[in-house]
Structure 1
Amino acid sequence: KILILDAKDEFAKQGLFIKGWETLYPEMIEFVKGSAGGKITRIDVAKKEVVTSSGTHKAHVINFIPPQKAGKIAFDAGLTKGNWCPVDFITFESKIHKDIHIIGDASDASPMPKSAFSANSHGKVCATAIAAAFSGVKMPEVPSYVNTCYSYVGPDYGITIAAVYTFDGSKIVPVKDAGGVSPAEASSEFRKREATYAEGWYKSIVHDTLS
């Protein structure tokens, strides 16, 4: 059995993941949300026990993911406010230190998720801003950002989420009706096609980012 203990009550594509687990791995995976006792308060490494508000759970293998925050280098450089780095959403320049640009997970670019695809989108906006600054050209006032994420629930079972974002003058906001998630009720053939698309998506984003 796999027990997922989460301090949060919700996560991206939650309904699709749970449906996939129930379809492929019935009664094998259990998700416990924070308000139902999923928040971890202590881990006993020697005993392989996880303590939560709902009780103690013993496991053969524990994969603990600590609360997320920007990397140590960002804190050491004084670029953070809270757990993340505040940035100008048009240039991704730090709001704390001029001429330092921060993209990806470390940046506070909510409501965009902290995904590699988001970081790729941030990078393109940031690179355009830096090139514009070097060339003395004005940066476009309303950049667009995008996120797409495919997930495998099984070898032939894929799900996806996508969204387009814009800048409203003060913050990043999703563009209405520009995106969505895989349908909750879909055929096995549809899930298989999504798994195939996922492979192409992965190759494309890796090539685009690293080439």
Structure 2
Amino acid sequence: MYGLGRVGHLGNSGGLGWVLPGASIDMNFKDGLYYGATASQLAASRASTAYADDLVGNWYQFASTVARITNKGLLCEESRANTIRNNSCQGAVVGTPGTLPTNWQVVAHTITSSIVGVGNENGIDYVDIRLNGNTASIDHINIYFESVAQIASNQGQTCACSSFMKLVSGSMSGVDPTGLQLIIEE
């Protein structure tokens, strides 16, 4: 909850139990309670759309000028840039082998891959990639979300990587759980 007040301004005298005494503006984003202003009066500034999740785990996309408010409250984050050109799985085609999302690549040596599903779950676009074969003869499977040398960076620059992953069928039998990693390569 944010409570803002001006010096010399009386603001709320305590008549509303949830409002910070003396506040000119008080906003409880989680419960949707606003005093002195509304959430629509907030200005947000981002270079592109962004997501925020709710208490159930659904994800919602917000325009670049809209504050990300769900039943969890207001989501404020530091500035960042998504350098993956296709982070929403566009271009994938179901089939054997099917077509991976544009700019993506699977390198799995003795393992075959096929695209078995595409869609949207809880507000997040997805692609189901079936990996099939003998895991005894491999030590890793690489799924690249971007082509080599596409992401420019400077020495000492900090980068982060995140992904939603889910085992939808089969098992991880024979695969070392420490082998599931997100790696950023320049």
TM-score normalised according to structure 1 size: 0.23
Structure number with larger C-alpha Rg: 2
Which structure's residues are more often helix, by fraction? 1
TM-score normalised according to structure 2 size: 0.25
